[in-house]
Structure 1
C-alpha cells in the first residue's frame, strides 16, 4: 500500500477557491476540486451560515429556561425512570442555569452558542429522542450535511465503514460508492463513530451508535448546533486498496418540511410518536439521494400504478414514495414480497389512505411470504402504525395502552379535555389522575391512544408468513408497531441491531400543550408562555406499555429485542440488502404457508354464497354481522359455503383454523 496521500475536495455550489488556496495545506499535498453543484438548492458553506446566527436577548433566554423547567417538572412522563437509569438530574441543571442567568445581563451574558449548547446538553442527558430543545431561527428548518452517506457493516468478520450513497453529480476520481473509510479527522473511524454516539441522545448503546454514524454526515440544526469544524478530512481506501484523503466542507441548506403539523390541536398531533432527529435525517436523505421520490411525492400529477401482481424481481410504483417502497425479491428460498416503510408520519386525513396504499401494495406482491422492513423509521402517527397490524394477522389487535405521570399540570391539561372539547379525548385518564391526589399513584391508569375499533375494522389482508426487519433507528410509533407485531405473534423479528431504538412514548410539543390549555377558551392561569425566535420544545407526555405476554412492560429504554439477529454485510450496503433479504427469505420458507381468498354474493332470499379458496387450512368458521353462522372442514382448493336467513347482512368474516388454532381470516363487506 502506498504511503502517499492525496487530498480531494467535493465542491459545493460555488468553487472553493478560498479553500484551494488555503495556506494551511501542506505543500506536498495536491487538491482536486470537483465541478458538482450543491445537491440541495440554496446551500451555503458552514462558515457563512454560522456568521448569521445569534440574537437571543437575556429575557428570551430566561423564558426558554423557565419553560424547559415547566415541561420537565410538570409534563415529562419518564423523569423518574431517566433519573434512575442514567443517574441524571436535568431539573437541577436547569435551576442552576436559571440562577446563573439571573446574575447576568444583556451585556455580560455568555455567547448564544454556549447557551444553546448547555440547554441541548441538559435535554440530551435524559437520552430520550422524544424530549428535545428545538433551536430557534436561523437554525430551524436547516440541515448541515456532507454529500454522502456512511454505513457500518461486517465484511469477512471485520467491522467496516462504507460509503453507501453519493448525492447525484458528486464524486471524485477515487471517492466513489463502496470505498472504505478508515479515519475521520485523523481518528480511527470506529472510535470516531463511538465518540460521536455519546453526543447524541439514544436510549441504548445500539441506538446511540446508529445515530452517531448518521451524524457523521447529517446534522439537523433544529436539534443540534452546527459542527465545530468547518470541514472534515476523511481517509479512505479506494477499490484498489490505495489510501486517499478527502477534505469535505460542511454545507448548510434547507430541509424538506415536516409531513405533519405537530403543533396544531388535532388528533394527529396528540397521537404522535416521532423521533424528530430520525425524521429530519430521513427527509434530508430523500433530498440528497432520492430527489425523484421527492418530486413524485409533492407532484400534482397522480402516479400511474400497477394493477397486476408484480413480476419476480420487479418494483411497484407507489403513490406515497416517501413512505413506501415495495418490490418482489428473488432469494434462494423463494420469491417473496419486500415492503420498506420509511415513516408513519401522516396527518389524520391521510391515515386511511396510508393503510389503503399498504394494502394495495401487499396485495400485488407474492403471497408466499412478506419481508416487512422498518429500518430507519422514526415513527409518526401512532394510529397509522397500529392500524397496519390488523392487515397481517387473523387475531384481534390490542393497541398499546399509555399513561400520564400524575402532576398538577398534567391534571389541568387532562381536566380541560376530559369532555373532548377539541376532538382530543383525554377523559379516560381523568379519574385516575384526579384520584392520585389521594392514592399517591405516580402514573395514571393505562388506556390506548389508538381506537380499538379502527385497529380491527379491516381485518387480515395478507395471509402468508411475515418477517419484520428492524434496527436501532426504529423509534416511537415504529417501536410501538414492532412491539405490537411481536406481542400479537404475527411473525419473527429479524434485527440488524440488538434491539430497536426504545422510544416508548407519545410526544407533545410545548406549543400543543400551550394551545390545549387555551381551548375551548383562553386560560389566564396557563403557565405556558410563547417561546422566542421560533424556538420549540417537545416532551414525552405518555409512556407506552406492552401487551400480550409482556403486558405492562414499558417500551422506553428497553425496546423490542429481535428473535433473530444478523449484521449487515458489504453486499447488504451496496447491493440492495442482498444477504439480509436472503436471511429473511430462509425464515419465511421455514414457516407454514396459508392462503384464504373470499368472494361473496347475497341473493334476494337472504342466502349468502361464499367461494373460499384455501391452503394450509383445515376448518372454516363463518360469522355474519358478528354472529356465528356456519362451520365446515376444508382441504386445499376452492370450497363453496352457503348461509341462509341473512337478508340485509352487511359484513361476513371467515376464519380459517389449522391444528386447532386460528391461522387466517378475511373480513368483507357483502
Structure 2
C-alpha cells in the first residue's frame, strides 16, 4: 500500500533524506542491466503466448468493446506470434527483449491498464527512473511542463523545482509527451496524456520494457530565463515490494477476487515514495514498530496509515475546510481502512470537506464502495459487475459457487442463447456498503484527475451517482478503468485440483492480469459502463503553476468557493433516554425541515421542524437497541445519524 510523493507539495519531500542518496548509489545503468537480462527458453515463450490466448479469448470481459473502439485484434496477433514461435528453434529465436516487446505491444493495444503482460525476472520488481519528476500545468490556454521534485544527491546548474522543460532529446516537450502517450495504455485521451507525462522519468519494468535510449537530453529554462541542457542516464533500481493480494484480518469473504487496481500506477507511486518521499516510509516503519511517527508536516493530522491517507485543515478565502487525501485503496485490512477513514472524518470541520483521490490507482473495491456510505444519508447501491459469457468463465463459477454463484444461472443461460455477458450483480456486499451509514454531514467536493483508475473510478462513479457532492476534475475525465481485475496466478488457484484445468503456472516470475468483470453505473447513469468513458467532472479545473509549487494553492481556493456555496445539512442525536416504556430523543439539526425517526430499523415517528432542535418521544421503545434519525429539506433526504442504545 503506497501513495505517490505528494506532487503538489514540495515541502513534503525532505531534500536531505539519506535513503534517496542510497537508492541513487545502488542504481544500475541501463546498458549494464540489459547485459544480464533474458533467460526464457523457447518452450517458456510458447507457454506464455498460449496462456495469454486463453485469458484474452475466454476471460477478457472488454474484448468486444476494445476490438470495436480501437480497431485492434489482440487474439489474432497472439495466434500469429504463436505460429512464428512454432517455426523457431533454440538457435534461431530472436533476442528476448523482442519477444517481451511484442507481448507488451499486444496487451497495450487494447488500452486497458487492467489487462497487462507482466515481465519476468530480471525485470520484475525493478523500476527505470530519471532523478526528477515533471508535471504539466496550463496558463492562458498554453501548456507548460516543469520540474516539481528532484532526488537528493542529484543537481545541475539552475535545475530544480520550477524549472521549465522546453525540449526532450531535441523534441519539443509537448510533442514528446504525445509520442510517449501513444506507447502506453490509457483508456481515453486524458489518461494517455497523463501517462505520457509520468513515463518521461519513471517506468516500472514489471509493466514496461526498459527505455530504448540509454540517456535523455533535457533542454530547460531556469528561473532567470537562461537556457541550458543536461544529459541524464536512465537508472535501474529495485522498487518497493508489492505485497501479494490476499485477504487479511478483517477482510470480508471474497476479498482476493475484489481487486480493482492499476498496477502501473501503484508501482509508480511506490517508486515516487522511495525516491522522493522517504519520510513516508520512515513513518510507516515507526508505526509498525509501535514507535512515534517522525516527519509529520505542520498542520497535518497524524494517521495510522500514512501510506493511505493524509489529513489536515486548509484555510482559503472562502473559509476553513477539511482535507483528506486518499492515496490508494490497496489496503487488505478492509475494516482497518474504514475505521481510520471514519476517525479522520470525525476530526474534520463540519463546514465542508475536500476529498482528494488524484493519482489513486485503486486497490480493493470493497474499500472504495464501503467508504461511500460515510459521506451520504442515502443508501448505497454498489456497482453491478458482469462476466463475459464463455465456457471457461462458466466453469470457474461452477467451481466456486459460494463466491461466484450469483453469476452462475445467467452464464449457464448465456452460453446456450449466445448472450455476450452474464447478468449484472454487485461485487461489493450491499449490507457492508450500508453497515455504518453517514459519518460526516458537511458538504463534500471530490477532486479527481486522469490517473484515478479502477477502484477509484468506481468510487468516483458512486460519489456522483449517489449525488454526494460535486466532482472537481483537473482533467476532462478519470482514467476510465471500469473493471474487476484478476491475475493469472489467481485463475490458476481457482481451478487448482481440477485435472482438466487449462491454466499452467508461468515461468520465471512472468505474469498476466485481465479485466474479468466489467462495472456498470447506477442511479441516473444506470447501465452505463465505466470502461473507456470514465467519470466526467461536474466542475472542470486546470492545474496552475502555484498548484504544483505551492501546495495546491489555487485548487484549494476553487474547492473552497464550491463548498461555500453549498448549504450544510446536519442531524445529531444529543441525548437518548428511556422513560418507562418510551424512548426520548433530543436531536440537533441544521437546515432541516422534517425529521423521520426509526427505532430498531422500523419507522416510528415523523415531525416537522421550525427551528434547530427537536424533542421526540417514541412510545413502546424503552428497550430499543438502536435509533436512526433522517433529516429532510424540501422533501429530499439530506442527513442522517444512527445511535446504538443498548
Normalization by structure 1: what TM-score?
Answer: 0.90
Secondary structure of the equivalent of 2:306? coil
Q: 5 Å matches for 1:147-226?
A: 147-226=131-210
- What is the rounded CA distance, in whole Å, between the counterparts of 1:623 and 1:411 in structure 2? 43
In the TM superposition, residue 650 of structure 1 has moved relative to its aligned partner by: 2.0
Q: Is the 1:403–1:446 contact (alpha carbons within 8 Å) kept by the matching residues of 2?
A: yes
Change (3 A) 1:367 1:303: farther
Question: Residue deviations 1:82-135, cap 9 Å, x none?
Answer: 000000000000000000000001110000000000000000000000000000
Change (3 A) 1:207 1:545: same
Q: Which residue of 1 aligns with 2:9?
A: none
Q: Which residue of 2 aligns with 1:20?
A: none
Secondary structure of the equivalent of 1:452? coil
Question: Residue deviations 1:241-267, cap 9 Å, x none?
Answer: 101112211111111122552699972
Q: Is the 2:591–2:612 contact (alpha carbons within 8 Å) kept by the matching residues of 1?
A: no
Change (3 A) 1:643 1:401: same
85, 96, 110: which is aligned to 1:101?
A: 85
Q: 5 Å matches for 1:432-471?
A: 432-471=410-449
Secondary structure of the equivalent of 1:176? coil
In the TM superposition, residue 304 of structure 1 has moved relative to its aligned partner by: 6.0
The answer on 1:389 being equivalent to 2:372 is: yes
The answer on 1:488 being equivalent to 2:466 is: yes
Q: Which residue of 1 aligns with 2:254?
A: 267
Question: Residue deviations 1:407-466, cap 9 Å, x none?
Answer: 011110011011x2xxxx100000010111322111000000100000001101111111
- What is the rounded CA distance, in whole Å, between the counterparts of 2:122 and 2:473 in structure 1? 38
Q: Which residue of 1 aligns with 2:338?
A: 355
Secondary structure of the equivalent of 2:82? helix
In the TM superposition, residue 302 of structure 1 has moved relative to its aligned partner by: 4.0
Q: 5 Å matches for 1:233-382?
A: 233-261=217-245, 267-299=254-286, 300-302=288-290, 314-347=299-332, 350-382=333-365
Question: Residue deviations 1:462-481, cap 9 Å, x none?
Answer: 11111111111010000000
Q: Which residue of 2 aligns with 1:59?
A: 43
Q: Which residue of 2 aligns with 1:504?
A: 482
Question: Residue deviations 1:14-50, cap 9 Å, x none?
Answer: xxxxxxxxxxxxxxxxxxxxxx834457322222211
- What is the rounded CA distance, in whole Å, between the counterparts of 1:298 and 1:388 in structure 2? 26
- What is the rounded CA distance, in whole Å, between the counterparts of 1:437 and 1:595 in structure 2? 50
- What is the rounded CA distance, in whole Å, between the counterparts of 2:380 and 2:200 in structure 1? 39
In the TM superposition, residue 222 of structure 1 has moved relative to its aligned partner by: 0.2
Worse overlay, 552-561 or 163-172? 163-172
Q: Is the 2:570–2:631 contact (alpha carbons within 8 Å) kept by the matching residues of 1?
A: no
Q: Is the 1:303–1:317 contact (alpha carbons within 8 Å) kept by the matching residues of 2?
A: no
496, 516, 522: which is aligned to 1:541?
A: 516
- What is the rounded CA distance, in whole Å, between the counterparts of 2:586 and 2:244 in structure 1? 42
Q: Which residue of 2 aligns with 1:31?
A: none
Q: Is the 1:262–1:508 contact (alpha carbons within 8 Å) kept by the matching residues of 2?
A: no
Question: Residue deviations 1:518-575, cap 9 Å, x none?
Answer: 1xxx111000011000100000000000000111111000110111111100001111
- What is the number of residues matched between the two proteins? 621
Question: Residue deviations 1:553-601, cap 9 Å, x none?
Answer: 1100011011111110000111111111111111111111122222343
Q: Is the 1:39–1:147 contact (alpha carbons within 8 Å) kept by the matching residues of 2?
A: no
In the TM superposition, residue 269 of structure 1 has moved relative to its aligned partner by: 2.4
Q: Which residue of 2 aligns with 1:406?
A: 389
- What is the rounded CA distance, in whole Å, between the counterparts of 1:478 and 1:439 in structure 2? 34
Q: Is the 1:303–1:319 contact (alpha carbons within 8 Å) kept by the matching residues of 2?
A: no
- What is the rounded CA distance, in whole Å, between the counterparts of 2:594 and 2:25 in structure 1? 60
In the TM superposition, residue 173 of structure 1 has moved relative to its aligned partner by: 3.8
In the TM superposition, residue 606 of structure 1 has moved relative to its aligned partner by: 4.3
Q: Is the 2:390–2:415 contact (alpha carbons within 8 Å) kept by the matching residues of 1?
A: no
Secondary structure of the equivalent of 2:21? coil
Q: Which residue of 1 aligns with 2:405?
A: 427
Q: Is the 1:607–1:645 contact (alpha carbons within 8 Å) kept by the matching residues of 2?
A: yes
5+ long unaligned stretches in structure 1: 1-35
Change (3 A) 1:249 1:263: farther
Q: Which residue of 1 aligns with 2:594?
A: 619
Change (3 A) 1:261 1:173: same
Q: 5 Å matches for 1:457-606?
A: 457-518=435-496, 522-603=497-578, 605-606=580-581
Q: Is the 1:77–1:405 contact (alpha carbons within 8 Å) kept by the matching residues of 2?
A: yes
Normalization by structure 2: what TM-score?
Answer: 0.93
